[in-house]
Structure 1
Amino acid sequence: MKRKVIIMGAAGRDFHNFNVFFRDNKDYEVVAFTATQIPGIDDKKYPAALAGKLYPKGIEIKPESELKKLIQKHNVDLVVLAYSDLPYEVVMHKAALVNAIGADFMLMGAENTTIKTTKPLITVCATRTGCGKSQTTRAVVNALKARGLKVVSIRHPMPYGDLVKQKVQRFAELADLKKHKCTIEEMEEYEPHIQMGSVIYSGVDYEAIVREAEKEADVIIWDGGNNDIPFYSSDEMIRIVVVDPHRPGDEISYYPGETNVYMA
Structure 2
Amino acid sequence: MASKGTGGHDGTGKEKYIIMGAAGRDFHVFNVLFRNNDKAEVVAFTATQIHGIDDKKYPPELSGPLYPEGIQIYPEAELQDLIKINGVNKCILAYSDISAEYVLDLASRVLVTGADFLMLAPYDTFLNSTKPVVAVTAVRTGAGKSQVSAYVNTVLHDHKLKTVLVRHPMPYGDLKAERVQRFATYEDLEKQHVTVEEREEYEQHLKKGTIVYAGVDYEAILREAEKEADVIIWDGGNNDTPFFKPDLWMCIADPHRVGHERTYYPGCVNFRAADVIIINKANTAEPENIEKLKKTARELNPGAKVIVTDSTVTVADADAIRGKKVVLVEDGPTLTHGGMPYGAGKYAAEANNAEIVDPREYYQGTLRRTLKKYSHIGKTIPATGYSPKEVEDLAKTINAVPADAVVVATPMDLNRLIHMSKPSTTVAYKIGDREGEESLRQALENFIQSCKALAQKVEE
- TM category, shorter: over 0.9
* Structure 1 counterpart of 2:212: 200
* Structure 2 counterpart of 1:47: 59
| Structure of greater relative contact order (alpha carbons < 8 Å, 6+ residues apart) | 1
* Structure 1 counterpart of 2:96: 84
Following superposition, the deviation at residue 165 of structure 1 comes to 0.4
Which ranges of structure 2 fall in alignment gaps of 5 or more residues? Answer: 1-12, 275-460
* Structure 2 counterpart of 1:151: 163
Letter in 2 for 1:245: P
DSSP 3-state at the match of 1:26: coil
**What does the per-residue CA deviation read over 1:140-190, in whole Å, with 9 as the maximum and x for residues that have no partner?**
111111211100000000000000100000011111001111111101111
* Structure 2 counterpart of 1:256: 266
Letter in 1 for 2:72: E
- Counterpart CA distance in 2 for 1:103 and 1:10 is 21
- Counterpart CA distance in 1 for 2:34 and 2:135 is 24
- Relative to the length of structure 2, the TM-score reads 0.56
Say if 2:146 is the partner of 1:131: no
**What does the per-residue CA deviation read over 1:16-75, in whole Å, with 9 as the maximum and x for residues that have no partner?**
100011111112100000010111101110000000110000000000000011011101
Letter in 2 for 1:228: D
Say if 2:18 is the partner of 1:6: yes
Letter in 1 for 2:168: H
DSSP 3-state at the match of 1:101: coil
1:55-204 aligned at under 5 Å gives the runs 55-204=67-216
- Counterpart CA distance in 2 for 1:56 and 1:112 is 25
- Relative to the length of structure 1, the TM-score reads 0.98
**What does the per-residue CA deviation read over 1:105-134, in whole Å, with 9 as the maximum and x for residues that have no partner?**
100112221101010110000011110101
> Which of the residues 225, 230, 242 maps onto 2:252?
242
Q: Please tell me whether Structure 1 or Structure 2 has the larger radius of gyration of its CA atoms.
A: 2
Dislocated runs of 4+, deviation >3 Å: none
Say if 2:41 is the partner of 1:29: yes
Following superposition, the deviation at residue 197 of structure 1 comes to 0.7
* Structure 2 counterpart of 1:212: 224
DSSP 3-state at the match of 2:83: helix
Percent of aligned positions that are identical: 57
Q: Which moved more, 1:89-98 or 1:151-160?
A: 89-98
- Counterpart CA distance in 2 for 1:186 and 1:55 is 29
Following superposition, the deviation at residue 253 of structure 1 comes to 0.6
- Counterpart CA distance in 1 for 2:23 and 2:122 is 19
- Counterpart CA distance in 2 for 1:175 and 1:114 is 32
- Counterpart CA distance in 1 for 2:42 and 2:261 is 32
